[in-house]
Structure 1
Amino acid sequence: MAKHNVQSPLPGTFYRKPSPDTPAYAEVGQRVEADSVIGLVEVMKQFSEVRAECAGTLQAFLVEDGDPIEPGQDLATIATEA
C-alpha cells in the first residue's frame, strides 16, 4: 500500500469543516476519492478547497483544525490502493 501526502496549495489557515457548527469534510479512516474535499485553506477571507488528489483511505491529518499553514506543507496522508 502506497502513501500520498496532500499538500497545501496556499499559505493561510487550514479548516476541516465548512463552518464551526457542521461536520468535518472527512474523518481519519474514511475512504476518499481523488476529488473529495478534505478541508479548506482560508486566505484573507477567501476559501479554497483542498482535495484528496487520489483515492484511498485517509490515514491522518498532519495539522490541526485552525492551524496556520504554508504552501507545500503536508496536510494529510492517504493510503492508496496502488
Structure 2
Amino acid sequence: MAITTVPCPLPGTFYRRPSPDQPPFKTEGDTVAVGDTIGLVEVMKSFTTITAEIAGVVAKFHVDDEDPVMAGEPLFDIEA
C-alpha cells in the first residue's frame, strides 16, 4: 500500500476538531473518502478546511490539535 503525506497549504494553527467540545474529524486508523474533512487551519480567525484528496486510511498525524504549522509542513499520512 502507498503512503501519501499531506502538507499544510498555509501557515497557521492546525485543528483536528470543529470546536473544543467536539470529537476529532478523524483519528489514526479511520477510513477516509475523497472530500472528507481531516482538519482545519486557522489564520487570523479565518478557517481553511483540509480534506482528503485520496481514499484510504489515516495512517499517522504529524501534528497535534492546536499546533502551529507552516506551509509545506506534513500534517498527516493517508495509506491507500
Interval of TM-score (by shorter of Structure 1 and Structure 2): over 0.9
Q: Offset at 1:6? A: 1.0
Q: Deviations over 1:9-39 (max 9, x none)?
A: 1100000001000010001101001211000
The alignment's C-alpha RMSD in Å is 0.6
Q: Deviations over 1:42-66 (max 9, x none)?
A: 0000001001211000011000111
Extract unaligned runs of 5+ from structure 1: none
Give aligned-pair identity as a percent: 49
- State the aligned residue count: 80
Query: How far apart, in 2, do the equivalents of 1:31 and 1:59 lie?
Result: 9
What's the counterpart of residue 28 of structure 1? Answer: 28
Q: Does 1:77 pair with 2:51?
A: no
Shift >6 Å, 4+ stretches: none
Query: How far apart, in 1, do the equivalents of 2:49 and 2:40 lie?
Result: 5
Q: Tell me the SS of whatever aligns to 1:41.
A: strand
Query: How far apart, in 1, do the equivalents of 2:57 and 2:73 lie?
Result: 20
Q: Give the alignment of 1:1-82 within 5 angstroms.
A: 1-80=1-80
The two structures have a TM-score, normalised by structure 1, of 0.94
Query: How far apart, in 2, do the equivalents of 1:52 and 1:74 lie?
Result: 14
The two structures have a TM-score, normalised by structure 2, of 0.97
Q: Tell me the SS of whatever aligns to 2:41.
A: strand
